[in-house]
Structure 1
Amino acid sequence: MPNFEEMPKHFEPKEREREIYQRWEQNGYFKAHVNPAKKSFTIVMPPPNITSQLHIGHALDNTFQDAFIRYHRMLGEEALWIPGVDHAAIATEAKIVEQLRSEGLTKQDIGYDAYMKRAYAWKEKYAGRIIEQLRYLGSSCDWDRCRFTMDEGFSQAVLAVFVKYYEKGYIYRGKRIINWCPNCRTSISDAEVNFSEQEGNLWYIRYEIENEPGRYITVATTRPETILGDTAVAVNPADARFSDLVNKRCRLPLLNRWIPIVADDYVEQEFGTGCVKITPAHDPNDYEVGLRHNLPVINIMDDSANINSNGGIYAGLNRDEARRRIVDDLEKSGNLVKIEAYKHNVGSCYRCHKTIEPRLSEQWFVKMKDLADKALKAAADGDVTFVPSRFKGIYDNWMNNIRDWCISRQLWWGHRIPAWYCQDCGEINVSLTVPTTCSKCQSKNLLRDNDTLDTWFSSALWPFGVFGWPNFSAPGSKEEFSYFYPTDILVTGYDIIFFWVARMIFQSLELTGKAPFHHVLLHGLMRDANGIKMSKSLNNGVDPLKIIDEYGADALRYAIVSGTASGNDQRYSKEKLETARAFINKLWNALRFILGHLDAASTYPTQADLQNLLASPALKLEDRWILQRVNSLIDNVNNNFCNYEIGTALDNIYSFFWNEYCDWYVEIVKSRLFDTADSSHQTALQCLRYVLESVVRLLHPFMPFVTEEIYQYLPNHGETIMLESWPQAIETLNAETAVADMNMLIQGIREIRNLRAEKKLKPSLRFKVSAYTDNEHISQLLHAAVPYFERLCGVSSIEFLSSQSQAPKLAVTIVLPQTHIYIPLSELIDLEEEKQRLATEREQLEKEKQRLENKLANSEFVNKAPAKVVENERAKLTVVCQKLTAVNARIVELG
């Protein structure tokens, strides 16, 4: 045990947190093993991207997870938290390409092998940094199990899934409209497109009808640059306005190309002019129309969204330049009818926030119908539950409307697609190993696909891939998989429910036959003090490491968890950090105070010790009250954890410790502590120790460092608080009456304190009070509680009245349940002095009244002064008269 004599006045996180964490890790406290005698509890960490360092959102996410792991570890379960990092293909490649660009190089300049060498060097640097940051935060992960989404074992799992899905018919290659990011230069999935309403325009363009000079059909479009890829104009078959034009042709302005007019139910008669230009290569709906009418598909843009050779004279322009030129040329040619302001949804890449470009492209896809149906059933059957439950509706809606998933990416960094194309017969060879000959024609002329897989395809295997699935080559890995999988809870932000959560569910169900986790806790996003989402561009983010450096990890954890509610965004504020710092100081001071009285034999009581304590005649009202209150706290915190109300649990602990334990119980028992001859001296110490350590154990999942340090200072401590048992409520404690009695006394003391504050009475002033009750139990309670009132609110004595008629006439009355407490005014003020003061005030008011009456009786003043001035004087007279009435009534009252 640390030496109390050398105990610092304050807990110094900078000096202690690193050392405490190193001791935890070196002693193997974070490790978990297969133990059939214990219940397992498993969390897999949402792997942070290796693109940078952790941000405040990561801190929130991992603090939540750590709280659950520490809680279940203290419950005696085999608690396993598996950490890892994600290769984050698009984001990481963008970083490396940017690094190369700063050196005047491109990927192609250095080649694939040199590029991958750089990429892995990047991974080592940033993965190591992230892991260290997680340690600083206090994350109690089993670091020996740390995984990377491109380590050898995980890569084999990813490729095995691709091959299995391909052989089952779930994966196919085909041409479809996909979302293309011209900035990241790759396809992205539907879930990776963020839509936002933007101010734009509707351009009305007329197309000349073939063989009908002077007759035109007018279309409205939000993207005039795509006119270059138009292959038809569509109208609704029920629209009588255009029925005679169906199957005719019209001239495409600027390009002078004749295109058909088709009838299709897709067209909304009420939108624009009722006529829609059809660009099958650059709009998913137009593509479907094109398929139905066998229309040509003309791609007009390259990978950078510049106009290609199909754009004629506009080739080489980027899409914004092309729009300006085309609109200008349409106006000059007389084919631009008008322009209207128009708000519409525009899609952007969730990574780089640049506008995406729908385009026809040959890609790899996953058929989603069967997979989605299984995932919907798992949620409907309760195999997976969402917290808050409202997110199930969002999940269901997305699954019910899901389209096939585009999984190929035009990147070098990532899991390369295991497909080889025969250059002689065109056969696609999909294999776990590199094929030497074509499976169809035995040609050796094979070329591997250059694309890589969507990051989320591999990340979706995370809950079971981390255990070595499907090979289980490591010793004991299969047994660990059976013991620890499925995991218990996934903790993550609601913003990736589509990217990752939904995909883990359908992948796990398909590949393991089980849902990956029982519960999904979706927390909100961290925002700044003004409620604005933190971002680099706004420069309103905060670095968690800087906060830890200044305040400590415990303070940061408190500040980001306190007040949180599942699914709701959380505001970061420095005030919460200051509250956390004050809380830590309060805990430390409580420890220092108690250690000054505890002897070396003091222990945390067993259930048997607590039963003996309850039977002790030295156990007083305040003892029973605080034991019952900590009982309730333990029950409440357990319920909070079961209901995933982490913020509420922390707030309950804070409120109890500060408001009940420190403000009331410690103050009440101080006289017993300093009086060693008091027969209840040791009882008070036992209660103080038990309640403090119970609070510290309850608080440990949230603020692990200071609670470990406090625990180590308490006499007869164990090896570490991490391995201590979670507090249990005292089953036989029946102290509801004690709680009601103490609450009444606290109310009375608090109201007397409030009165002292209102009257601005000196702390040294002590006064007598009277009390009346016709309830025998309350009478005995008040008689026993006289010392409380004397010590805690400056009451010198209490006179007990035999009837209410004996109550003093001039007194402040405090009403308690079946009880009245009277504080005579003579005890609070000098009556003669107060009478003299009131007499002086009355004299001054009478003089002022006379002056105003004389002034208003002067007809010259009333007739010549502005009406507003006269009215003000009359108002003054009214106020003076009211004050005078009140003073006279007070003088009569005082006699």
Structure 2
Amino acid sequence: MSTSENPPFQEDPDSNSFGRLSSRYEPGTVEPRQLVALETFSQSHPGSPSAPSFSMVIPPPNITGRLHMGHALNLTLQDVVARFRRMEGDDVLWIPGTDHAGIATQNVVERQLSKEGISLEKIGREDFIKKVWEWKSSIQGGILDQIRRLGASLSWDHERFTMDPGFSKAVTKVFVKLHDEGFLYRGERMIHWCPRCLTALSDVEVTHVEQTGTMYEFRYVDSSDKSQFLVVATTRPETIPGDMAIAVSPEDPRYLSWIGRTVVTPFGGRIIPVISDPSVDRDFGTGVLKITPSHAMVDWEIAQRHGLGNFEVIDAHGRMNPSSGKLSGLTREEARERVVSDLEGRDLLVSKNPYPGTIGVCYRCQTVVEPRLSLQWFVKMDRLAESAIEVVKDRKIRFYPDGWKNTYFDWLVNIRDWCISRQIFWGHPIPAWHCSACHHVTVREDVPSKCEKCQSPDILKDPDVLDTWFSSALWPFVTMGWPEKTADLERFYPTSLLVTGFDILFFWVARMVMMGLHLTGKIPFKDVYIHALVRDQFGQKMTKSRGNVVDPLEIMEKYGTDAFRMTLVQMASPGRDIRLSTDRVEGFRNFVSKLWNAFRFVDRSAQGELLPKELYPEEVSGIANQWILIELSRSVREMREAISSYRFDEVANTLYHFTWHQFCDWYIEASKPSLDLPDNDPLRIETRRTLLYTASVLLKMAHPIMPFVTSEIWSLFFPDELPIGAQRFPEFKSEKSPAETNSAGFSRVMTLVGEIRQIRSHLKISPAQEIPGVFVINDKNGAILGENMGLVSRLAKVRPLVSVSPEDVPPGIRASVSEGFVSLDIAGLVDVKMEEVRLKKEVEKVRQKKTSIAQRLASREYLDKAPPEVIEKDERAKQEAEDEELAIISALEQVRILVTRDLGGSGNG
């Protein structure tokens, strides 16, 4: 029987009104007080200069609004590690801060102004930037307060903002350095353009969304022979006016005779050549590709190889420009309809069919992006990427889970130059000046008074700003004072760990590695833990449009911060999205209450007892005391191993299992007989010491995850000790204890009690109802079990057990272990004839459930489509049904024996 089925120990709500703990844990009262105490401690207890250093930087939240569930998860996981490392004695630096978030913040402020009837064009650059700084001042404090409310123990004296003066100076220096070294250039290239934000985007700022569009096929007539034509397939008819050529594969026999001829564009009537290029996929569409260099990345590359030139027909706002002829002024969508209608009317439309594909949208405003030829600033990425690949291959940087390194490699191997200029107002200005006389561009850190080439004073500041991720890529070392050689850089860089979501693996992580290596000569961090997304209970992404966004602060207010943190940590399983439900959080609120009530019991039972510094299993004689100390040590080891490998879910599960099942459900109940002994009884004294010691270690184990309730209890129980955050995290006693044998004996007691409780459950006998019984020891290995039958009686609610020989056992239902069994006399408690009928139905019911799950798991379609966590849940349910079936069958067989002997009576069951 699983110990999770044990009835939890119950406390009289008013039984401990005289104690140190109130009858109920009230997070709304405790957390504000402990928040001050915890923050005071973290700021006033820096690590020793001789201690090992441990450092992290917070992924800086954007100054765009409130924190969301992803922030809460990220901060909680980091805080677990930070608190653990402090308890290990490390000198911990965990740097907080916020990101200016160029496009995102500009969009937010622009929307705010539009509500007041103020447009971006009307207000102008200078006044708009003032408005953004005002927004930053109003929002940043709230963001940082939310982080504090979560209990994050950051190094607040190191707080940074990506546009504070020191950071901005460092960004300028990096731009100039990369330019002078030849890593940064300005050129006309095809880029992704957002018609809504009116700015260039880098490749990773384009989100690819699955969408079923339409594939059109049109006739392109030979310019010399109107009876001949090529059929071209395209999803973008609106770009036909910008066609510069038609391309076919040089290996496609269908079109070899067309190479070198010319055709007429079906809309616009321009004559364009037919060329051959090996990049054309002969199996896509008709195998004929229209080349529109100004509006398609691949087309531009082909045009470059063939010297075709460009012809732009869509403007910066996503509307057709005058070069598009009759389409001028239309949106892209309107132009598409106009072209299709026109060509269909002239019998040039061959077909149109649904086409599943993807479209690129702006990662911020979700507008469909437009490939566009534009003069922009770029960073050459190939050499930078090579170094970033090597340090991960050499395991100088390690990913957790390890599989994420393959995704990292895929992007870096196929990397393109990074477009870093943005056509917006808010961001780091590009330190470049353009000469109106000779058109030379001067790049330097300070403001020049004249052109460095022709000496003309007629120079203009570059109007663009830098991509947000350019400055974010410098975050790990600029936050520590780079480019100055600071003490922080010397001691804490490279950082020890980065915790972040997979969605910014390319945006941020890879770029930090590249910039860190190039600018400091060192990796920016040693370990990278990638966590998944927080979704709703149905697996849906949380979005405002779905109405399923959950505010972390509301959850904390309702259920308590410790319960919320415990939920996030327990659900942080590697590679799996978190499905957050309030039921889960409520369950962990019960767990916090369980811990609180356990300490109310400790308070009542061990008041006045001095806290032992150490207590080993071989130093105690009581079987339950030996067992709990061994299980405590084992749990400490498991937690340490899990934290070291960033298996946060295992950290939480180990804590939960030890607290709820081993300490509360078993040990506290098992300790009560000893605690009822006279004050001077050695076993009572020993049990009080063991109870208090185990409870103190449990608090230390729980503190990194649940800082509020643990700090409150510690301060009340051990006011003369150092704060719990300054305590050392428990150590694992690795030596094998001589008490292991007795501990195993207690495990047999637990098993036997579990068997009796299972019988109660199946026969519907109340947990409070005492059952008469006798016990039989099968062999000499049952000596410990026999010595502890009093404990079995108390825990299983069986009348004081009497030992008998096997031949003298009266009829009854047996609860067995290998060393012996207990025979339970259920006469008068259960009508065994009716019970036989009921158990038969229960067996059939469980079998039907098991069969249903098995059929589902046997379906290949189900296994292919169902999420992994759903399949795992079904597999667990199937195993549980099989175990339940065996248990009911066992009870049924014993009931049948009693029916045969007619010993059950009519009962009152």
Q: What is the TM-score of this pair, normalised by structure 2? A: 0.88
Question: In the alignment, what sits opposite 1:767?
Answer: 772
The SS at the match of 2:293 is: coil
Equivalence map 1:371-386=2 (5 Å): 371-386=384-399
The SS at the match of 2:361 is: strand
Equivalence map 1:66-85=2 (5 Å): 66-85=79-98
Aligned residue identity for 2:778: T
Q: 2:731 aligns with which of 728, 731, 743?
A: 728
How far residue 30 of structure 1 moved from its aligned partner, in angstroms, is 6.5
Task: Tell which structure's C-alpha radius of gyration is larger.
Answer: 1
Query: Residues 30 and 142 of structure 1 are in contact (CA less than 8 Å); yes or no, is this contact kept in structure 2?
Result: no
Aligned residue identity for 1:815: S
- 2:700 paired with 1:702: no
Question: In the alignment, what sits opposite 1:187?
Answer: 200
Sort the Cα spacing of 1:692 and 1:313 in 2 relative to 1 into closer, same or farther, 3 A: same
How far apart in 2 are the matches of 1:22 and 1:837?
62
Question: In the alignment, what sits opposite 1:491?
Answer: 499
Sort the Cα spacing of 1:410 and 1:750 in 2 relative to 1 into closer, same or farther, 3 A: same
How far apart in 2 are the matches of 1:498 and 1:452?
21
How far apart in 1 are the matches of 2:345 and 2:482?
65
- 2:23 paired with 1:9: yes
The SS at the match of 1:450 is: coil
Contiguous gaps of at least 5 residues in structure 1: 473-477, 842-882
Deviations 1:265-321 (A, max 9, x none): 111112211111000011111001101111020111111111111111111111001
Q: 1:794 aligns with which of 790, 793, 797?
A: 797
Query: Residues 809 and 823 of structure 2 are in contact (CA less than 8 Å); yes or no, is this contact kept in structure 1?
Result: no
Query: Residues 632 and 694 of structure 2 are in contact (CA less than 8 Å); yes or no, is this contact kept in structure 1?
Result: yes
Query: Residues 419 and 448 of structure 1 are in contact (CA less than 8 Å); yes or no, is this contact kept in structure 2?
Result: yes
Query: Residues 833 and 899 of structure 2 are in contact (CA less than 8 Å); yes or no, is this contact kept in structure 1?
Result: no
- 2:115 paired with 1:110: no
Equivalence map 1:272-351=2 (5 Å): 272-351=285-364
Deviations 1:814-849 (A, max 9, x none): 3312x231415xx21149x9699999x9xxxxxxxx
- 2:899 paired with 1:890: yes
Question: In the alignment, what sits opposite 1:648?
Answer: 650
- 2:36 paired with 1:22: yes
How far residue 51 of structure 1 moved from its aligned partner, in angstroms, is 0.4
Question: In the alignment, what sits opposite 2:862?
Answer: none
Equivalence map 1:326-475=2 (5 Å): 326-472=339-485
How far residue 665 of structure 1 moved from its aligned partner, in angstroms, is 0.8
Sort the Cα spacing of 1:585 and 1:416 in 2 relative to 1 into closer, same or farther, 3 A: same
How far apart in 1 are the matches of 2:719 and 2:32?
24
How far apart in 2 are the matches of 1:660 and 1:649?
16
How far apart in 2 are the matches of 1:3 and 1:722?
28
Aligned residue identity for 2:821: I
Aligned residue identity for 1:714: F
The SS at the match of 1:53 is: coil
Moved more, 89-98 or 107-116: 107-116
- 2:506 paired with 1:505: no
How far residue 757 of structure 1 moved from its aligned partner, in angstroms, is 2.8
Q: 1:737 aligns with which of 730, 738, 741?
A: 741
Query: Residues 263 and 273 of structure 2 are in contact (CA less than 8 Å); yes or no, is this contact kept in structure 1?
Result: yes
Sort the Cα spacing of 1:27 and 1:213 in 2 relative to 1 into closer, same or farther, 3 A: closer
Question: In the alignment, what sits opposite 1:249?
Answer: 262
Question: In the alignment, what sits opposite 2:574?
Answer: 566
Question: In the alignment, what sits opposite 1:634?
Answer: 636
How far residue 333 of structure 1 moved from its aligned partner, in angstroms, is 2.1
How far residue 469 of structure 1 moved from its aligned partner, in angstroms, is 0.4
The SS at the match of 2:610 is: coil
Sort the Cα spacing of 1:418 and 1:796 in 2 relative to 1 into closer, same or farther, 3 A: same
Question: In the alignment, what sits opposite 1:91?
Answer: 104
How far residue 336 of structure 1 moved from its aligned partner, in angstroms, is 1.3
- 2:597 paired with 1:589: yes
How far residue 753 of structure 1 moved from its aligned partner, in angstroms, is 1.8
Aligned residue identity for 1:665: Y
Aligned residue identity for 2:588: A
Query: Residues 832 and 898 of structure 2 are in contact (CA less than 8 Å); yes or no, is this contact kept in structure 1?
Result: no
Query: Residues 487 and 516 of structure 1 are in contact (CA less than 8 Å); yes or no, is this contact kept in structure 2?
Result: yes
How far apart in 2 are the matches of 1:29 and 1:600?
32
Query: Residues 563 and 651 of structure 1 are in contact (CA less than 8 Å); yes or no, is this contact kept in structure 2?
Result: no
Query: Residues 505 and 516 of structure 1 are in contact (CA less than 8 Å); yes or no, is this contact kept in structure 2?
Result: yes
How far residue 487 of structure 1 moved from its aligned partner, in angstroms, is 0.5
Aligned residue identity for 1:496: I
How far apart in 2 are the matches of 1:726 and 1:125?
40
Question: In the alignment, what sits opposite 1:233?
Answer: 246
Aligned residue identity for 2:816: V
How far apart in 1 are the matches of 2:80 and 2:742?
33
Sort the Cα spacing of 1:455 and 1:32 in 2 relative to 1 into closer, same or farther, 3 A: farther
Aligned residue identity for 1:668: A
Deviations 1:226-255 (A, max 9, x none): 111101001111222222221111111221
Equivalence map 1:530-549=2 (5 Å): 530-549=538-557
Question: In the alignment, what sits opposite 1:869?
Answer: none
The SS at the match of 2:174 is: helix
- 2:159 paired with 1:161: no
How far apart in 1 are the matches of 2:482 and 2:734?
45
Q: 1:689 aligns with which of 681, 692, 705?
A: 692
Deviations 1:450-491 (A, max 9, x none): 11111111101001010110035xxxxx11111011101100
The SS at the match of 2:571 is: coil
Q: 1:516 aligns with which of 516, 521, 524?
A: 524
Query: Residues 40 and 77 of structure 1 are in contact (CA less than 8 Å); yes or no, is this contact kept in structure 2?
Result: yes
How far apart in 2 are the matches of 1:3 and 1:166?
71
The SS at the match of 2:759 is: helix
Deviations 1:698-742 (A, max 9, x none): 111111000000101114542421111111123554432233211
Contiguous gaps of at least 5 residues in structure 2: 1-15, 839-891, 905-909
Query: Residues 51 and 89 of structure 2 are in contact (CA less than 8 Å); yes or no, is this contact kept in structure 1?
Result: yes
How far residue 782 of structure 1 moved from its aligned partner, in angstroms, is 2.2
Aligned residue identity for 2:741: T
Query: Residues 521 and 566 of structure 1 are in contact (CA less than 8 Å); yes or no, is this contact kept in structure 2?
Result: no
How far residue 115 of structure 1 moved from its aligned partner, in angstroms, is 1.1
Sort the Cα spacing of 1:253 and 1:764 in 2 relative to 1 into closer, same or farther, 3 A: closer
Question: In the alignment, what sits opposite 2:535?
Answer: 527
How far apart in 2 are the matches of 1:94 and 1:772?
77
The SS at the match of 1:596 is: helix
Query: Residues 233 and 276 of structure 1 are in contact (CA less than 8 Å); yes or no, is this contact kept in structure 2?
Result: yes
Query: Residues 31 and 80 of structure 1 are in contact (CA less than 8 Å); yes or no, is this contact kept in structure 2?
Result: no
How far apart in 1 are the matches of 2:452 and 2:835?
110
Q: 1:668 aligns with which of 650, 667, 670?
A: 670
How far apart in 2 are the matches of 1:787 and 1:645?
40
Deviations 1:19-54 (A, max 9, x none): 211123335546646x44100110100000100100
Q: 1:784 aligns with which of 779, 787, 800?
A: 787
How far apart in 1 are the matches of 2:637 and 2:777?
37
How far residue 213 of structure 1 moved from its aligned partner, in angstroms, is 2.5
How far apart in 2 are the matches of 1:558 and 1:274?
57
How far apart in 1 are the matches of 2:126 and 2:352?
52
Query: Residues 494 and 567 of structure 1 are in contact (CA less than 8 Å); yes or no, is this contact kept in structure 2?
Result: no
How far residue 894 of structure 1 moved from its aligned partner, in angstroms, is 4.9
How far residue 890 of structure 1 moved from its aligned partner, in angstroms, is 3.4
Question: In the alignment, what sits opposite 2:815?
Answer: 814
